[in-house]
Amino acid sequence: MTNQQQARRLFERSRRERFAVGAFNIDNQETLVAICRAAKAKHSPCLVEVSHGEVEAMGLANVRDMVDNYKQEYGLELYINLDHSPSVEAAKAGIEAGFEFIHIDLSLAKKDATYDEIVDATKQVVEYAQRTGALVESEPHYFGGSSNIFAEEIDYEEVKKTFSTPEGARRFVAATGIDTFAAAVGNLHGLYPVPKRLDLGLLQRIRDALDCYISLHGGSGTPLHFFEKAARIGVSKVNINSEMRKAFRLGLERELRDHPDEYAVVKLMREVEDDVQDVVEKHMDAFGSSGKAQLE
């Protein structure tokens, strides 16, 4: 069975057994180690993901090799997602690199992209993905925020203007043939001073309208009970990034303060990795994926 076939089997199980799989971004090897330790401790399947900036920093082939190496070392059910790929060409490169999951997000690079342009780009990626069987994810419009820490409040009246609708979701899936629809129901990229609120009623109506899988981007800063309910509704994937970045940054600052004479940075990393691992583990529990790993 290929990696892509195993990935499809995982999402089929997630839908049937009502758990979600975490997709956790890596900025470096340390965050990858933290994710792997969490997956091992929780016996959880998970996705490691990289977005365009992370690909530019590490390279597609290097990410593929690192993930495969740690997957074997730790004995994990582990996959790679190319997150927010900004062009058809970038998405195709991820498919060629053997990534099991591909998210094409034309609106990331072109925020004024028309609906027809997004549909056309997504269809091209769906067709190309048939070469390997990679699962393709997309959405019909720009998704707000960024993976950072914000000081301003969330203007939910403004955010609601970009919420998905059951009719719009059904239309987009039918037009593109995607495997996974990235729903917008109150989830938002980044961390804010107030917790996020998911419209679970809307999520249920979207679930009822679609046969494909559903993902939630911008999971950081969401009270965990929302994820528990979202998984039961039928969400298969949730993305977490900003909380991990915050844990890494604050942990590193603490270690530098506590060890001002240490210049071998590698000696400071274990406690930082532990901080990130804690973030990943609590989300695996909330997603219901703990104990769900299946290894051949």
Q: By three-state DSSP, how is residue 217 classified? A: coil
Place of tokens 């043939």: 177
Q: Is 83 in the active site?
A: yes
- Amino acid identity of 245? R
Please give the Cα distance from 190 to 192 (Å, whole number).
7
Q: Please tell me which residue in 27, 65, 68, 83 is annotated as part of the active site.
A: 83
Residue 248 makes CB contacts below 8 A (sequence gap 6+) with 27, 30, 31, 272, 275, 276
- Distance between CA atoms of residues 100 and 11, nearest Å: 11
Give the C-alpha distances (Å, rounded to integers) separating 67 from 28, 40, 57, 126, 159. 11, 14, 15, 24, 35
Q: How far apart are CA 125 and CA 136, in angstroms?
A: 7
Tokens representing 152? 């301003």
Distance CA 139, CA 122 (A): 9
Distance, in Å, from the CA atom of 238 to the CA atom of 157, rounded to the nearest integer, reads 23
Amino acid, single-letter form, for residue 277: Q
Give me 110's structure tokens.
Answer: 């072109």
**294 to 25, 46, 125, 265, 286: CA distances (angstroms):** 22, 11, 28, 35, 19
Residues with Cβ within 8 Å of residue 171, at least 6 apart in sequence: none
User: How many CB atoms sit inside 10 A of residue 175's CB?
Assistant: 16
**Nearest of 70, 141, 67, 71 to residue 97 by alpha carbon:** 67
Catalytic annotation, residues: 83
